[in-house]
Amino acid sequence: MTLRPDQIRDYHADGFTIVEGLIPPGLLKDIAEHLDRAALGQLDSGIAVQVEPEVQRLDIRPENPLNRIRKVSRVVRHDSFFRSVATCESILSCMRDILGDNLRFFGDEAQLKPAFYGSAHAWHQDAPYFYSIPLPVATVWIAVDEATPENGCLQVVPGLHRQGILKRPNSDQPWFDEGEFDSTDAVPVVLNAGDALFFHLCLPHGSGPNTSPNRRRSLIYRYINVDRITTDMISLVERHGCLSNASDSHPIFRMAIP
């Protein structure tokens, strides 16, 4: 699968594009099962598991233990199944259409937004959140369940990525404080399970709480084009990027800087 010319145009003009049906049902089922096992601590202990803060603070014990977990991360580093998903040609070919050819894998997380308890994600841009400057990185946000306004789908402000990192003179936090960000022009990103959102590192985005009885799981991968790394980026890329120097690993996992 590759992006159509209008999707590539949308990505550059709006900061995002949606690809329907990127992940076929069989693979999606495997991803969902592996995410649940990761959330329950049944995979490698290197995978980071984060409990939903309100559930933790109030010591709530949901009937379904999966509804305790907000996020898992570092799944690619610690699990061969998630590594194989990162090499899926359908994901890589869309990424190449956006970023160019010389790609490396650059990071992962899975936001699991539990039923009833899943909290909102404040508005932010990923560039200052993760790396402090805009690296040649793009994100694919895979909807493992359908994503709707009721279960806390992402919201984005089309086109605002073109302003780069937004200046915030009164704060050094990477996310916007309540009421600080003007989200008048925000649009909800409603997706079916298996659809994917590709988005720019400077696109402001956030998500609402999950008030529905169903989880809203997403698998999020980031890739970088190493041909577009400039000298001022090298230390950041070394800190956040490369997974392995092994010559037998898939080329996208080799050292980030060739």
Residues that bind ligand AKG (CB under 6 A): 111, 113, 121, 126, 139, 141, 154, 205, 207, 218, 220
Task: State which residue, 126 or 195, has the beta carbon closest to ligand AKG.
Answer: 126
| Closest separation in Å from C-beta 54 to ligand AKG | 15
Instruction: Answer whether 154's CB lies under 8 Å from 205's CB.
Output: yes
| Closest separation in Å from C-beta 126 to ligand AKG | 5
Measuring CA to CA, which residue among 14, 10, 72, 8 is closest to residue 205? 14
Helix (H) or strand (E) holding 18: strand 16-19
The sheet carrying 187-188 orders its strands as 121-124, 205-207, 154-156, 187-188
Task: State which residue, 240 or 250, has the beta carbon closest to ligand AKG.
Answer: 240
| Closest separation in Å from C-beta 202 to ligand AKG | 12
Task: State which residue, 34 or 254, has the beta carbon closest to ligand AKG.
Answer: 34
Task: State which residue, 191 or 254, has the beta carbon closest to ligand AKG.
Answer: 191
Q: Three-state SS for 141?
A: strand
| Closest separation in Å from C-beta 111 to ligand AKG | 3
Instruction: Answer whether 222's CB lies under 8 Å from 137's CB.
Output: yes
Measuring CA to CA, which residue among 100, 179, 169 is closest to residue 136? 100
**Dist CA 95 CA 249 (whole Å):** 19
| Closest separation in Å from C-beta 102 to ligand AKG | 23
Task: State which residue, 210 or 225, has the beta carbon closest to ligand AKG.
Answer: 210
